[in-house]
């Protein structure tokens, strides 16, 4: 009965979403304003109903109820409980149900939390969220129902993809979904502004709050996904410019651009239309990610296979929501613009240029991700766009963004004088140039990466020193987030440009030398796991480092995987992977030495912490006070 209760709750949530979407237009058509007041209650009820539906699915997985089709296809009694629960969102139907649950949760919280917004703005925003909810829930209920029964029920399930049986993958999707879905509130606020013809008091503050929440969770979710790829796939890397990785990066870039644009709108105004289009693009990228992952157009460890009809449904949903919002902006966006003068040499000028570069970079990522799919769909042949393309196009666009982040916060809003800021600029640039010069022996990319990281860190230090007596919590959060990017950039540069690698077929007792360090394959033993058999190697370095990588063979489904062993220190990672053995008893051993790579994860933590600190700050009054 739990499964039927979940299915009923899903259909009930769809009904509540329909009420939420139609309450305001029906009230206006009937000239009965009081009818619009049911929208907040409908949003809250939808959130409760979806929580019940998601709990029912998790209960079915935890209890190994194989009469439910998705449980039989994605779980097994031998799996540890953590992965049984995580399997609830580790497939197409469950991931969509979680997506819809989070969308309803955001709508419910927005309905109950006024945030100083006028009643009209709140109702328009809830109506926009309701329309999105109707589309997503209709897709789940009609084309991707996770509560379908099997009769007769199998005795045992097929199991979950072993690559997804990792603690990082238990938490990575929900956190990433919170971020991807969170930008829906900023989108709905943008639609509300277009429908009303003005932003209204508090619009920038509320939009900034919800965008910052989404950006924090996107940052953590992307970092966890990168850490999973680094530890689980055994290739020594953490980012491959995979289309599904890119689909998470796109809303992160647009959310970062929107946050910086909103800083100007909130304090001075003058970029309202730009902020609205950024909010629309952010959620459009999120919907595009849904299409890429769940339509079946991609083959990826990240992607969920689906039939073509589902892909058409998602594409139609994306076109209706994103396309409708863009048409609305074309018709009404001009009403939001007003002239506020500021000089190019100012904090506002640096902020505007940075947001433009971020969106251009997002556009390049979008082109490189979608163009091969379009070419194949148009029978133009199979094309491959990989890391070399993105490295050559996206990174040069992001480099000036980092430079602007280093010097932009040092500028005054509105207008600044070169004479005042010149000495600080020279000092910050000198730090970056010195770091680049010291790193030049490792190549141009290393010099650029370490130089920009040092320049950004110096800029953060300069802000802390200049504002040491007046620094607000919001500014401090910005500095911590920017410093996190500097630390992460140093980790990326060191882990990629200074890395060393070695591979060899070794007998027990054989040695492999990497970066001047000798590693000995001491032993290989068999170790049973809860639902796999592992061959565990013990690799020892003379200095005392011991690594125990595993080659695992899962029974259900039958699949071999690698489990890397990683020993981290503040100065870098030592990374080992064990492969198969040959007829002579030699084992394939692959070793990596990656200087500074742990700084990447530390940087992500700092960025999220800076965002959280800024989230708790009291904000200045909105620059625009309209009814």
Looking at 450-586, which runs of residues are DSSP E strands?
A: 500-506, 511-514, 517-528, 532-541, 546-547, 550-555, 558-563, 565-569, 572-581
The pair of structure tokens assigned to 346 is 């100012």
* Structural contact between residues 159 and 84, judged by C-beta atoms closer than 8 angstroms: no
Per-state percent for the chain, helix, strand, coil, to nearest 5:
65, 10, 25
Q: Report whether 455 contacts 428 (CB < 8 A).
A: yes
User: Can you give the residue ranges of every domain in the chain?
Assistant: 1-163, 410-498+599-615, 500-595
Give the C-alpha separation, 517 to 575, whole Å: 12
Round to whole Å and give the CA distance between 142 and 147.
Answer: 11
Cα separation, 323 vs 595, whole angstroms: 46
Cα–Cα distances in Å, from 130 out to 323, 325, 334? 17, 14, 25
| Angle (nearest 5°) at CA 449 between 448 and 450 | 100
- With a CB cutoff of 8 Å and minimum separation 6, the contacts of 353 are 404
Closest CA to 246 of 409, 157, 368, 87: 368
Rg, the chain, Cα only:
26
DSSP E strands, 159-265: none
Tokens 């109702």 belong to: 123
Residues of the chain under the 70 pLDDT cut: 296-308, 338-341, 618-627
Q: What φ, ψ does residue 605 adopt, rounded to 5°?
A: -60, -45
Partners of 589 in the β-ladder: 504, 578
- pLDDT tens digits along 395-425: 999 999 999 999 999 999 888 898 999 999 9
**What is residue 18's predicted lDDT score, i.e. its pLDDT?**
98
Whole-number pLDDT of residue 189: 97
The residue length of the chain stands at 627
At which residue do the structure tokens 């329309």 appear? 131
Q: Evaluate whether 220 touches 604 at the Cβ level (below 8 Å).
A: yes
pLDDT of residue 116: 84
Nearest by Cα to 74 from 137, 164, 12, 13: 164
Residues 516 and 119: their CA atoms lie apart, in Å, by: 67
DSSP structure string for 218-262: HHHHHHHHHHHHHHHS-SS-S----HHHHHHHHHHHHHHHHHHHH
Lookup: tokens for 16: 């509540």
Dihedral angle computed from the Cα positions of residues 410, 416, 419 and 420, in that order, rounded to the nearest 10 degrees: -50
Cβ of 538: how many Cβ atoms within 10 Å? 18
- Rounded Cα distance between 414 and 337, Å, is 17
User: What are the pLDDT digits (tens) for 259-299?
Assistant: 999 988 887 777 889 999 999 999 999 999 888 887 766 65
What residues have CB less than 8 Å from 296, skipping those under 6 apart? 303, 305, 306, 307, 308, 310, 311
The alpha carbon of residue 389 and the mean position of all alpha carbons in its chain are separated, in whole angstroms, by: 21
C-alpha closest to that of 218 among 166, 255, 263: 255
DSSP one-letter code for 415: -
Which contacts (CB < 8 Å, 24+ apart) does range 578-585 have?
578/524, 578/535, 578/536, 578/537, 578/549, 578/550, 578/551, 579/551, 580/551, 581/524, 582/505, 584/507, 585/507, 585/508
**pLDDT for res 186:** 97
Pairing label, strands 517-528, 532-541: antiparallel
Is residue 105 within 8 A of residue 51, CB to CB? The reply is: yes
Under 8 Å between Cβ of 181 and 286: yes
| pLDDT attached to residue 341 | 65
Given a contact cutoff of 8 angstroms between Cβ atoms, the answer to whether 402 and 361 are in contact is: no
Tokens found for residue 577: 């992977």
């Amino acid at each position: 009965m739990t499964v039927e209760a979940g299915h009923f709750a899903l259909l009930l949530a769809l009904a509540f979403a329909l009420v939420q979407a139609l309450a305001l237009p029906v009230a206006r058509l009937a000239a009965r304003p009081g009818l619009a007041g049911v929208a907040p209650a409908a949003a809250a009820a939808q959130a409760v109903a979806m929580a019940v539906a998601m709990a029912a699915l998790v209960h079915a997985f935890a209890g190994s109820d194989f009469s439910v089709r998705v449980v039989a296809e994605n779980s097994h009694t031998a799996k540890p409980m953590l992965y049984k629960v995580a399997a609830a969102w580790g497939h197409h139907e469950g991931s969509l149900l979680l997506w819809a649950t989070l969308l309803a949760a955001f709508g419910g919280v927005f309905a109950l939390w006024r945030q100083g917004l006028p009643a009209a703005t709140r109702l328009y925003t809830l109506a926009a969220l309701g329309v999105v909810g109707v589309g997503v829930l209709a897709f789940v209920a009609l084309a991707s129902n996770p509560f379908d029964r099997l009769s007769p029920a199998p005795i045992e399930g097929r199991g979950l993809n072993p690559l997804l049986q990792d603690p990082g993958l238990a938490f990575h999707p929900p956190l990433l979904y919170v971020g991807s879905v969170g930008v829906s509130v900023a989108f709905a606020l943008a639609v509300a502004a277009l429908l009303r013809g003005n932003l209204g008091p508090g619009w920038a503050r509320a939009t900034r709050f919800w965008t910052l929440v989404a950006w924090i969770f996107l940052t953590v979710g992307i970092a966890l996904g990168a850490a999973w790829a680094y530890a689980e796939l055994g290739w020594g890397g953490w980012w491959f410019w995979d289309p599904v990785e890119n689909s998470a990066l796109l809303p992160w870039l647009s959310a970062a651009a929107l946050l910086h644009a909103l800083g100007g709108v909130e304090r001075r105004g003058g970029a309202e239309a730009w902020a609205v289009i950024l909010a629309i693009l952010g959620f459009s990228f999120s919907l595009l990610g849904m299409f890429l992952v769940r339509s079946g157009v991609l083959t990826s460890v990240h992607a969920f296979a689906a039939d073509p009809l589902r892909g058409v449904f998602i594409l139609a949903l994306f076109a209706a929501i994103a396309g409708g919002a863009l048409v609305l902006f074309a018709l009404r966006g001009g009403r939001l613009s007003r002239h506020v003068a500021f000089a190019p040499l100012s904090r506002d000028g640096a902020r505007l240029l940075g947001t433009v570069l971020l969106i251009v970079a997002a556009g390049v990522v979008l082109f490189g991700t979608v163009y091969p799919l379009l070419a194949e769909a148009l029978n133009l042949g199979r094309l491959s766009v990989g890391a070399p393309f993105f490295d050559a196009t996206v990174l040069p666009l992001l480099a000036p963004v980092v430079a602007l982040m280093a010097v932009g916060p040092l500028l005054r809003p509105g207008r600044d004088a070169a004479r005042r800021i010149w000495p600080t600029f020279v000092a910050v640039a000198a730090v970056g140039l010195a770091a680049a010069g010291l790193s030049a022996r490792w190549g141009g990319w290393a010099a650029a990466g370490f130089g920009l990281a040092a320049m950004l860190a110096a800029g953060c230090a300069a802000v802390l020193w200049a504002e040491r007596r007046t620094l607000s919590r919001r500014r401090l959060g910005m500095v911590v987030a920017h410093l996190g990017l500097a630390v992460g950039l140093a980790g990326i540069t060191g882990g990629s440009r200074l890395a060393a690698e070695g591979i060899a077929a070794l007998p027990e007792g054989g040695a492999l030398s990497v970066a001047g360090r000798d590693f000995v394959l001491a032993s290989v033993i068999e170790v049973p796991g809860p639902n796999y058999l592992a061959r565990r190697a013990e690799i020892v370095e003379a200095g005392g480092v011991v690594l125990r990588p595993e080659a695992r063979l899962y029974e259900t489904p039958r699949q071999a995987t690698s489990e890397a062993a990683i020993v981290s220190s503040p100065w870098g990672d030592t990374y080992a992977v064990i492969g198969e053995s040959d007829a002579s008893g030699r084992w394939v051993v692959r070793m990596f030495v990656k200087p500074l790579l742990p700084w990447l994860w530390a940087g992500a933590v700092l960025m999220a912490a800076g965002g959280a600190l800024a989230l708790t700050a009291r904000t200045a009054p909105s620059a625009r006070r309209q009814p």
